[in-house]
A and B are shown apart, each in its own frame.
Chain A
Amino acid sequence: MPHDHTHPHPLRPDQDGPLTEAQLTEIALRELLIEKGVLTPAQITAQVTAMDARSPANGAAVVARAWTDPAFRERLLTNGSAACREMGYDIGTLNLIAVENTAVTHNVIVCTLCSCYPRNLLGLPPDWYKSRAYRSRTVRDPRGVLAEFGTTLREGMTVRVHDSTADMRYIVVPERPAGTEGLDAEALAAMVTRDGMIGVTRL
């Protein structure tokens, strides 16, 4: 549609301003790496594609395995990184801690200092996860934040907030929904959501 209509929808402005220093540095470095034969444009595109392909489905498969394989659940809670590598996920240098929701405990993840996120398992973080509002309010008023996500906790539950301050990354293992006893790991994985693994919702 030509742009002669009025805009009831928000218009994202074109990026006509000057490049930032970081953008210039990235372009210069990328062009030098290509010019000197260190990398090819195809390799760079392949890496971007691989990073974009990471999605919460990876984390969901880990959670479903933990629900269906008690020995794996133990290993995941003891050493999250090793358990994910065992499942064949190339998680690089990721140091993972898995925290488990129970009938009496609810866990929620935040990174107050920046926006640390287990990208290898959950893909790119949602914008709200990186917002100052989420980062500051989740440590001050976690139940208020959870309520805004529509998450109300049963009487007597404890909330455990995990601030991802340094070298570890976190994933919440949600409580397995009731009435799912007959389902296999694949069907269970389809029920596991990104927000459930951040801990802002319960399944």
Chain B
Amino acid sequence: MTEAGLPTRVRVKAWALPGHIRTPGYLRGKTGEIERRLPAFPNPELLAYRLPAPEVPLLRVRFTMAEIWGPDTPHPDDTLDAEIYAHWLEPADAP
């Protein structure tokens, strides 16, 4: 488990929220592996509106192209890494 209380395999929450969101739509609901743990940063979803923004752990998550685009993607083992804030992640085996 990481310090953010997340196992290595994580899923991006499939939330559809309005506002200033730094979680790209194409990764929501997708499962990947934590590539590295980064420092915590002020939550940009609040910072963007000049609200008090508590720091949130940031994680780099690695996804396979097959996971993002489906098994028919021409290079399924190529990868995509993205930075995702901890509150957008849940264990991959969560219901």
What residues make up the interface of A, taking CB atoms closer than 8 Å to B?
95, 97, 112-113, 139-140, 142-143, 158-168
> Quick check: B22 and A165 within 8 Å, CB to CB?
yes
CB-CB nearest in chain B for A167: B41
Q: Complex formed: what's the CA distance from A113 to B82 in Å?
A: 11
Report the separation of the CA atoms of residues A159 and B22 in the bound assembly, to the nearest whole angstrom: 23
A-B pair count, CB < 8 Å, reads 59
Q: Are A159 and B78 in contact (CB under 8 A)?
A: yes
Closest B residue to A164 by beta carbon equals B83
Within the complex, which residue of B23, B38, B80 is in contact with A161, where a contact is CB–CB below 8 Å? B80
Contact A158 B80 (CB under 8 A): no
Bound-state CA distance A195–B69 (Å) is 26
- 8 new A-B pairs (CB below 8 Å) besides A165-B22, A167-B38, A167-B58? A112-B24, A113-B22, A139-B26, A161-B78, A165-B23, A166-B41, A166-B58, A166-B83
Which A residues are CB-close (under 8 A) to B85? Answer: 166
Some 17 contacts from A to B, beta carbons below 8 A apart, are: A97-B60, A112-B24, A112-B26, A139-B68, A142-B78, A159-B78, A161-B80, A163-B81, A165-B24, A165-B83, A166-B22, A166-B41, A166-B44, A166-B85, A167-B38, A167-B58, A167-B83
Q: Are B78 and A158 interface neighbours, CB within 8 A?
A: yes
Chain B contact residues (Cβ within 8 angstroms of A): what range? 20 to 34
**Given A166-B44, A167-B41: A161 touches B81 (CB 8 Å cut-off):** yes
The answer, yes or no, to whether B75 is at the interface (CB within 8 Å) is yes
CB distance from A86 to the nearest CB of B (A): 19
Kindly list chain B residues whose C-beta atoms are within 8 Å of the C-beta of A161.
78-81
Residues of the A chain whose Cβ atoms lie less than 8 Å from the Cβ of B38: 95, 167-168
B82 near A140: Cβ-Cβ < 8 Å: no
Rounded to whole angstroms, the CA-CA distance of A85 and B77 in the bound complex is 35
A140 cross-chain contacts in B, Cβ below 8 A: 69
Residues of B within 8 A of A97 (CB): 60
Task: A147 to B53: give the CA distance in the assembly, Å.
Answer: 42
